Structure formats: structure tokens, C-alpha cells
Amino acid sequence: MQADRHVQLKCPPFPFESPAVRPLPTQNALPNPDEPCILRGPLASQLPMTPLRSLSVAATLLSVLATSAAAQSDSDHAEARSLFLANCASCHGESGDGEGTTQLDRKARSFKDGGFSFGNTPEALARTLTTGIPGTPMPSFESALSEEQRRLLAEYVVTLGPPATEVDLSRTEVTVLERPVFVRGMLPPMLTTAQAVPRGLVFGLPSRQSFEYRTDDVRLLGTRYGGFVRRADWTGRGGAGLEPLGKLVSTIEGGAPRSTFLLPGTKEEPLRARFRGSWIEGSNAGIRYEVLDAKGGVIAQVRESLLTRNTSAGLGYTRRFELTGTGLRDSISLRTPSVSGEQNSPKPIYVKQPGPANTTRTWSVTPLSKSVFDCNVGPWRNASESIQAAPETSAPIHLRKDEVVVVETTYLSLNQFTSETLKKLQKEFAQ
């Protein structure tokens, strides 16, 4: 592979194989989480050369391989070279081209081509040298090398990569125009009470709504409105993460939600959701994942989408789930948790809405202020099924092998809420 300055856009901790920007797959969707892609949407090379485009040219096509902050002295360089030959060259090759003498099941990364697993700054490489990469032949050198030796070695490895490319930081904002866009990377906490999300995903819609997910166990964290995302560390892939730009509209359980799906029963055991990728079809987009039991068996395959919902009382979104059973279980439960979810949030008001064929659904409205109301519209279900009078409800979903079941929940941010508002909204939803 030819070494050049065009680097695969990828945020730690997702490994990437090559610095070349790969052709987009069908539907401009994110692939499997182990595949080396982050950004989706039209590539700059496919669009007219205009000042504005769906993704910043710099943000889509360029990633910078930063050199060490301070050039190594001759003596340090010689020591670092010796450390590299003694500890790294057998796998990565004497020149860092990945052509080492050790026989591996999978060829070692080529530093010359920009193949860095978890960042290419000296700091990021030093962390990798310290911890190793679990599940791979890359060992930890914490006990074998001193901290100073690891620092020298990391600075030397940086010099083996392609030349640095200058990037105008004012052009690192990723924008959404006519089509949805996905970006993967580390996300900051949505609230001070939450935690950073190493494996995050941000999904932006043309409506200027954006949605943040964690992908290690798929869960929607919350929503924003306005700008999309800025990549904070284009000048060095050191893992500084993504910078969401939109105004925070709502969080799901304070930005640290529990599992979306449960096993029905008295205790309702939480189920894990394994991320499988994302998809874009015209103006619609979403993610794909599998719902797993405690033993790792696949209970259902889920295709989830998010649709803008405009109402007379405010803007919101519909979360649509298409579940395909595998035959392992005949039912699971979908949680519809509180939208705001903060510990000091007021208790929601619950209103039942009767529907056709002996069905009903629950509207839960949480007053956050005199002019802001978070509203959760639950899915339709049999009227005979009990509804919990708690900050969350769960709806049973009956699964059949290879058949698709569709369930929808809607979240609204309302500027007013009265009995008349509710009647009007229920009428709009019935259309």
C-alpha cells in the first residue's frame, strides 16, 4: 500500500487497518464496529467543489499524523532505535513496514502506512505500549521498559509514519445538510453526573437534531439540537474525542440509561444489545443491533430508526424498532424510560390514551419548568396489560421467528401542556 497523507478517519478504541479512505459501502452506512470507518455521508470527492458540503473536506478526507512535540536528540534517537529493534522489529519490521520475522496469524500493522490502533500521538502510543492490546499479540511493556524508555520508543514510532499534514481547525466541524450523517468516537458526559462514553456514536438528521448512543451495549443517551459535531484532535489522533455542538435538549435517565430491553418476568432481567452497524436509505437512517441473553444467544435482530416529529406544541422524534425473532425466545420487554431522568426531576404525569381494537398507550409528561415539558408517548399495547405507575414503563413484545414486529415510542419537548394540548396532540398522532 502506498503511504500518503490521506488517513482513514477513526476514533479510539476502534482499530483501523489502512490510512486510505475506503469507498463508501451501499447506502453510506457505518459497517460492523470492527471495520475501519467513522464518517458517513457524501464524500467531498463525490461533490462539486463548493465552499459548503455535507462534510467538511478536511474532516472527511484528512487525518493528521503528528510528529513528536519536540524532536529527539541524536542520542535519544539512537536509544529509541535500539529499543525498537529489540522489542518491536520482530513483528513490525525494522523499518516499521509490518514485515517482521515473527509469523503471526494476522500481519502486524505498518507504521509507515499510518497503521496505529489507538492513536498516533506520542502520548497515545505510550499508553498502548504500557497496556498492550488485549486479544492480540501486542504485549504490555509496562514491566519490560521504564516509563522514560516507553516515551522514547513512542516518539520514535511516530517518526516512522507518513508526513504530517496541516489542517485548518476552523474546517473540522462536521455538518449535516440534506442527508443523515453518522460519526463514531469518544463522547463526553452529557451531564456532570454521567460518564464519558469511549465507544460512542452521534447520529445527525437534516432537521438539526442529533442523537448520542453508546455502542458497547447499544443505548440511546440523549438528544441535541443545532450544530452537529467538531472533531477536537485533527492535529493528532490522540483520543481527545468528539465535541458535540448542539444544545442539549434531553437525556435518557440522566445520560446513563439502563438496558433498553428486558426479559419478561417478575425481575425483568436486563438484556445486552450488540451493535452491528448503521444504515441510510434516502432521508431515513438508523442502526442495527442484536438483543442477547445472558449466555450470548441472539433473541432478536433489531433495526432502529429515528424520525423527526413536528407537532403543534413542540419538536420531537419517534424511535422506531423493527424486531425480528430468532426462535430463542417468544417475547421480550421494551423499556420506555423517563426522558429527562435526573434524580431531582419532578415526577411525570401519566395519561392513558385508548386506541383501536382494545389497545391503549401511555403518555408520560414531566414538567421541567413553566414552559418546558418532556413527553414520552409509549407504544400501543393490549388494554388488559398492566401499566406501572412509575417513572418508566415496559411493554411486552411478542416475537415470532423470522417475522418483523414494529414498535414505536415518541419523545417530545413541549412548550406548553394542558388538557387541551394533550387532546390536540392525541388527535395529531391518530392521523
pLDDT score recorded for residue 320? 92
Instruction: Quote the CA–CA distance of 32 and 330 in Å, as a whole number.
Output: 27
CA atoms within 13 Å, Cβ hemisphere of 327? 2
**Which residue(s) pair with 349 in the sheet?**
365
Neighbours of 271 (CB within 10 A): 21
Rg (CA), the chain: 24
Q: What share of the chain is helix, strand, coil (3-state, %, to 5)?
A: 15, 30, 50
Residue 324 cell numbers, joined: 425480528
Residue-level pLDDT at 13: 38
Instruction: Supply the pLDDT for residue 2.
Output: 36
Report which of 76, 73, 46 is spatially closest to residue 60, judged by C-alpha positions: 46
Using alpha carbons only, give the angle 183, 214, 171 rounded to the nearest 5 degrees: 25
Contact at 8 Å (CB) between 376 and 363?
yes
The pLDDT score that the predictor gives to residue 79 is 92
b/e per residue 276-314 (b: at least 16 CB within 10 A): bbbbbeeeebbbbbbbbeeeeebbbbbbbbbbebebebb
**Residue 220: predicted pLDDT:** 95
Beta bridge partners of 200: 185, 214
Quote the pTM value. Answer: 0.60
**Nearest-CA neighbor of 366 among 411, 430, 306?**
411
Cα–Cα dist 232/335, whole Å:
34
Query: Could you tell me which residues come within 8 angstroms of residue 414 by beta carbon, excluding any fewer than 6 positions away?
Result: 311, 313, 314, 365, 372, 373, 374, 375, 421
Q: How far apart are the first and last CA of the chain?
A: 56
> What per-residue confidence (pLDDT) applies to 339?
61
Q: Are 187 and 212 in contact (CB under 8 A)?
A: yes
Q: For 38-98, what is the HEC assignment?
A: CCCCCCHHHCCCCCCCCCCHHHHHCCCCCCCCCCCCHHHHHHHHHHHHHHCHHHHCCCCCC
At 322, the amino acid letter reads E
What pLDDT, on a 0 to 100 scale, did the predictor assign at position 164? 64
Residue 349: which H helix or E strand, with range?
strand 349-354
The pLDDT tens digits for 346-366 are 677 777 777 777 777 777 777
Could you report the average pLDDT of every consecutive run of 10 residues in the chain (431 residues)?
A: 36 34 38 39 34 37 38 79 93 90 84 73 83 76 91 91 66 84 90 88 91 94 90 57 88 88 83 94 91 94 92 84 94 76 60 76 74 74 54 74 90 79 81 59
In contact, 411 and 429? CB cutoff 8 Å: no
Domain boundaries, the chain: 26-64+167-251, 74-159, 258-430
For residues 139, 140, 144, 149, the Cα torsion angle rounded to the nearest 10 degrees is 110
- CATH T-level fold of 74-159: Cytochrome Bc1 Complex; Chain D, domain 2 (1.10.760)
Q: Furthest-apart CA pair in the chain: how many Å?
A: 82
251 forms bridges with which residues in the sheet? Answer: 222
Cα angle: 108, vertex 110, 113; to 5 degrees: 155
pLDDT value at residue 211: 95
Question: How many Å apart are CA 337 and CA 54, to the nearest integer?
Answer: 33
